[in-house]
């Protein structure tokens, strides 16, 4: 049972790339906090709202969540996906510590606790900031990449998979009509979760993910086998951080050091055409995977994690991340989550399933 403590005002913000289900999570925080008699202050544009004066934040009222926001993509609060306020890079190249101004912002809002809906990088920064401000912090994991350690599903992941599967559903008829190989490039950064889930659910023949090495020999052998079976089209899913067969990254490094992926799909289609002479086309899904209306399971996960985050604060259990695991909620200490990346492991059920379906997923060692 939840025993309310002296906490009276919770701040909530979204941080990092947006995804489907963020508004559902904010809604859950507001509704549950309200039921406990607490206020929720929504901070705008991630930590950036704390830099401005007056601080860009407002009281979130349960009445605002009239049903529309539960369904709406994006984040009603705005977000920021660049920079570390403890070492913010200015336009002139200098690096500035903005944390003191943000601490003042938290104090100005009179917050008793902070809930951050973000990825593990955001958790590290927000926890540090909350400590500086002397308020407890709880993290709620969101990312289409699903790479947050300790949670089976981060908010937004399942909707991103749904979008990718819908894309395959639309690519299949046109692939069949034109006897083509259709390459679908999906997001995910260093984790192939979106790709392998989409490949299994969308009936792909080939799925390349960053975690598993592949060879053009293996890949073309699969395409030849498909052709030999009497089928004249094929579907290929490739995750954005997959490298060329010689290990070259297909990405741009931005001035701030961030890697921007995109392009491996085009590289792959060219190679397929060159190697086996079959007409190939590419679809790069990109941010379409983030902007969709959240599907039911994402609304469930977002709601459960939002409620649990409030419960953690109520129970005085700060410094934790709410997680969705084995169809239930739980929580882990921040230190266990931060700095780790949840990748597709060789013994993952999706790897086993893909192999069982005959999908070429790379050259795995035997056994």
Chain residues that interact with ligand F6P, rule: CB under 6 A: 17, 81, 143-145, 187-189, 240, 261, 290
Q: How far is the CB of 74 from ligand F6P (least distance, A)?
A: 12
**What is the spatial distance between Cα 306 and Cα 311, in angstroms, rounded to a whole number?**
9
Closest CA to 36 of 1, 63, 12, 69: 1
Q: How far is the CB of 159 from ligand F6P (least distance, A)?
A: 12
Instruction: Give the nearer residue to ligand F6P in terms of CB position, either 241 or 309.
Output: 241
Half-sphere exposure of 101 (CA within 13 A, CB side): 16
Closest CA to 29 of 287, 305, 222: 305
12 contacts 77 by C-beta, under 8 angstroms:
yes
326 burial class (0-12, 13-18, 19+ CB within 10 angstroms)?
exposed
- The SS3 of residue 212 is coil
Instruction: Give the nearer residue to ligand F6P in terms of CB position, either 121 or 319.
Output: 121
Instruction: Give the nearer residue to ligand F6P in terms of CB position, either 180 or 290.
Output: 290
Query: Which structure tokens are listed for 32?
Result: 């549950």
Please state the separation of Cα 41 from the chain's center in Å.
Answer: 24
Instruction: Give the nearer residue to ligand F6P in terms of CB position, either 161 or 272.
Output: 161
Closest CA to 79 of 9, 4, 133, 155: 155
Q: How far is the CB of 79 from ligand F6P (least distance, A)?
A: 10
Instruction: Give the nearer residue to ligand F6P in terms of CB position, either 57 or 163.
Output: 163
Q: How far is the CB of 119 from ligand F6P (least distance, A)?
A: 7
313 contacts 136 by C-beta, under 8 angstroms:
yes
Q: How far is the CB of 261 from ligand F6P (least distance, A)?
A: 5
Instruction: Give the nearer residue to ligand F6P in terms of CB position, either 85 or 188.
Output: 188
What is the DSSP secondary structure assignment for residue 325, as one 8-state letter? -
Residue with tokens 């109520």: 314
Closest CA to 87 of 219, 256, 231: 256
Which residue's Cβ lies closest to ligand F6P?
187
**What is the spatial distance between Cα 206 and Cα 212, in angstroms, rounded to a whole number?**
12
The residues assigned a catalytic role are 145
Q: How far is the CB of 198 from ligand F6P (least distance, A)?
A: 13
**What is the spatial distance between Cα 267 and Cα 208, in angstroms, rounded to a whole number?**
13
């Amino acid at each position: 049972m939840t025993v309310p403590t002296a906490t009276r005002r919770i701040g909530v913000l979204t941080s990092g790339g947006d995804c489907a289900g963020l508004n559902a999570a904010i809604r859950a925080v507001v509704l549950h906090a309200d039921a406990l008699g607490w206020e929720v202050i929504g901070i705008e544009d991630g930590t950036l709202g704390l830099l401005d004066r007056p601080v860009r934040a407002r009281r979130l009222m349960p009445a605002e969540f009239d049903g529309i926001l539960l369904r709406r993509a994006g984040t009603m609060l705005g977000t920021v996906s660049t920079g570390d306020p403890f070492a913010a890079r200015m336009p002139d190249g200098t690096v500035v510590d903005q944390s003191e101004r943000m601490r003042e912002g938290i104090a100005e809002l009179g917050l008793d606790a902070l809930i951050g809906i973000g990825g593990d990088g955001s958790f590290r920064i927000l926890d540090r900031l909350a400590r500086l401000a002397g308020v407890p912090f709880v993290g709620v994991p969101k990312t289409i990449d699903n790479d947050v350690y300790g949670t089976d599903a981060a908010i937004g992941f399942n909707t991103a998979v749904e979008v990718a599967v819908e894309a395959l559903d639309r690519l299949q008829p046109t692939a069949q009509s034109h006897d083509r190989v259709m390459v679908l490039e999906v997001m995910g950064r260093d984790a192939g979760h979106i790709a392998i889930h989409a490949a299994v659910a969308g009936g792909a023949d080939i799925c390349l993910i960053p975690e598993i090495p592949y060879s053009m020999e293996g890949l073309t052998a699969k395409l030849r086998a498909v052709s030999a079976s009497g089928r004249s089209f094929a579907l290929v899913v490739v995750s954005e951080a997959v490298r060329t067969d010689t290990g070259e990254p297909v990405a741009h490094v931005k001035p701030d050091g961030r890697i921007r992926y995109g392009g491996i799909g085009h590289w792959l289609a060219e190679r397929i055409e060159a190697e086996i002479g079959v007409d190939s086309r590419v679809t790069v899904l990109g941010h379409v995977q983030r902007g969709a209306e959240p599907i039911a399971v994402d609304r469930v996960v977002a709601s459960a994690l939002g409620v649990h985050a409030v419960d953690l604060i109520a129970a005085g259990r700060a410094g934790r991340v709410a997680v969705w695991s084995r169809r239930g909620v739980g929580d882990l200490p921040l230190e266990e989550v931060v700095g780790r990346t949840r990748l597709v492991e060789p013994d993952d059920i999706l790897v086993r399933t893909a192999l069982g379906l005959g999908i070429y997923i790379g050259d795995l060692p035997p056994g």
